[in-house]
Homo-oligomer: A and B are copies of this chain.
Amino acid sequence: MATAALLWVLLSALQEAPTHTVTFRLKAPEAKVVEVVPWGVQYRMANGLADRRVLMVKGADGTWTVTVSGAQPGFHYYFLNVDGAEMSDPASPPYFGWGQWTSGVEIPEPGADWYDEKDVPHGHVRHLTLREKTTGKPQRLVVYTPPGYDRGGRYPVLYLQHGRGESELGWTVQGRANLILDNLSAEKKPRPMIVVMANGQTFADNDPGRAVAEFPAFLIQQVIPFVEREFRTLSGPKNRAVAGLSMGGWQALEPGLPRPDLFAWVGAMSGGSLGNPERDYSGALRDPQRLNRGLRLLYLSQGRQDSTRDRATQLREHLAKIGVKSVYFECEGFHEWQTWRKALRDFAPRLFRE
């Protein structure tokens, strides 16, 4: 997987593709060593950084700087290391990723304005808590209500999950899901929908294995009833979708495939795989007819340089072999937010159609 990405970075360099430079700066007059540290292999590659750490150079005024080139469009996490202290960059807004608050840099994609904050009607992004029943602890959710929601009516709901190490904030803050939907709405493409982004880890004590195993029950028994009490929703499987990215893709397929009585629209972006077709997804793949009858859409997507590409391809090929209908979307991109932004833009207008 890493090989594909590495090759692509090399090819880009050979083809002299447009490159993007990022200059990092930190005032630390007494420090001995200051480094920029990109999070994760894929991020380092998307950053145009081959190595784990990039040394900054100290100027006469005590300011350390470094400029890196070859950064790919999208959102890239990093932190700074000052004499062994790992710290957020004071020049970056805080982002929750990699299990902590850290720094990030947004590299614009030339010509792409579909995820910008434009002068169009905007939905509202609501920050809520739901009291988890077994622990009694508050669990955070972000809920997007579409433009016009407060004027009345009932709406279908997309349950949309973030990836491992991120939080309920990922899809709106890093992913700009609200802006993508606002811009799509201005072109009248999608059905107006509520989007519910639950924290997919904290209810399971941030254990990713438990998060995938226990998410279906948490979603079905707690999140959905809460949302249907708090918001004016349309009911029934035709009005309910579940999707997610990376770990969140599993968290979407796990409840989505076995429960067509609850969800008619299911999507996994750079997530989901095939282990044991008899047992995976509660055995839902044993009955292709039931899946085809129940699902209006089974959607899989990934980036061409995506680290999960092999696994998703294996699942897709198995679905084709057993005759389960699915829609596949592929775009240029790493295992990174630009890929998932593109997927959401493609996915959302397909939902809740007759």
- Please list the residues of chain A having a beta carbon within 8 angstroms of any beta carbon in chain B: 26-34, 62, 80, 82-88, 90, 93-94, 100-101, 117, 119, 122, 124-129, 131, 136, 138, 143, 150, 230-232
From B85, B93, B124, B125, A87 is in contact (CB under 8 Å) with B85
Report yes or no: B127 in contact with A127, Cβ–Cβ below 8 A: yes
In the complex, A86 Cα to B82 Cα: how many Å?
10
Q: When A88-B90, A100-B90, A136-B119 are in contact, do A82 and B126 touch as well, CB less than 8 Å?
A: no
Taking CB as reference atom, which chain B residue is nearest A79?
B90
> Copy number in this complex?
2
Q: How far is the CB of A209 from chain B (nearest CB, A)?
A: 25
Chain B residues near A100: list those with CB within 8 A.
Answer: 90
A124–B131 CA distance with the chains assembled, in angstroms: 14
Partner among B124, B138, B150 whose Cβ is within 8 Å of the Cβ of A117: B138
Please tell me if the beta carbons of B93 and A82 are within 8 angstroms of each other in the complex: no
Q: Give the CA-CA distance A26 to B82 in the complex, in Å.
A: 12
Selected A-B contacts with CB under 8 Å, 27 pairs: A27-B84, A27-B86, A28-B82, A28-B84, A29-B84, A30-B32, A30-B33, A30-B83, A31-B31, A31-B82, A31-B83, A82-B82, A82-B83, A86-B90, A87-B88, A88-B90, A88-B94, A93-B101, A94-B101, A117-B138, A119-B131, A122-B129, A124-B126, A124-B143, A124-B230, A126-B126, A150-B230
